[in-house]
Amino acid sequence: MLAAQLSDYLAEMDISATELQQKQLVGFVEMLNKWNKAYNLTSVRSPEQMLIRHVMDSLVVSPYLEGQRFIDVGTGPGLPGIPLAILNPDKEFVLLDSLGKRIRFQKQVQFELKINNFTSIESRVEAYQPEQKFDGVLSRAFASIADMLNWCHHLPKENGLFYALKGQLTAAELTAIPAEFTLVDTITLEVPKLEEQRHLLKLVKV
């Protein structure tokens, strides 16, 4: 059921995935559903909705990633980082979250589904000092773009991009972008079966 739905959604979004990648994506949803009952990792309760609201909502960003090395800040159970890592085995992802139960879940996903291109780190973003900076900083869960930029300003390499995944955009939020950052692009995203607004904002530190 989930596998057939995933296949349909990928075709609708014009995203190609191998048989193994599709198995891993379905496996991720099944593990999230199982762990969620005990650890409350997401408010989304049905696997069908997890596939749409978490997996497809993450994969829709994939065509816009530039570079090799990314950090997913406030990743929660691994969103968008794990679906993106599955779809982009040639790229490297660091998944950052401050809650141990989320990190344990990610590590179990990595072990069971044999995904070797992400690293899970338990830390608050302002305390995390990477040895190597990133081509891109991803965030799907930050309250505001301004907060994301203020807390993550030390993470990208020079000319590295910030990727802010947002629902609705307000003029107030856009005008609150700090002066030392430039909005490079605003992309309207379409997620199958999701009747809600989705946007990707690409920003760079000047």
Query: Does the annotation place 79 within a ligand binding site?
Result: yes
The Cα 151–Cα 163 span in angstroms is 14
* CA gap 36, 23 in Å, rounded: 20
160 annotated to bind ligand: no
Distance CA 93, CA 134 (A): 9
- Interior CA angle at 71 toward 67 and 74, to 5°? 150
CB 28 within 8 A of CB 86: yes
125 in a known ligand binding site: yes
- Annotation-wise, does 74 bind a ligand? yes
Is 131 flagged in the annotation as binding? no
Mark the binding-site residues for S-adenosyl-L-methionine, compressed into ranges. Answer: 74, 79, 125-126, 140
Mark the binding-site residues, compressed into ranges. Answer: 74, 79, 125-126, 140
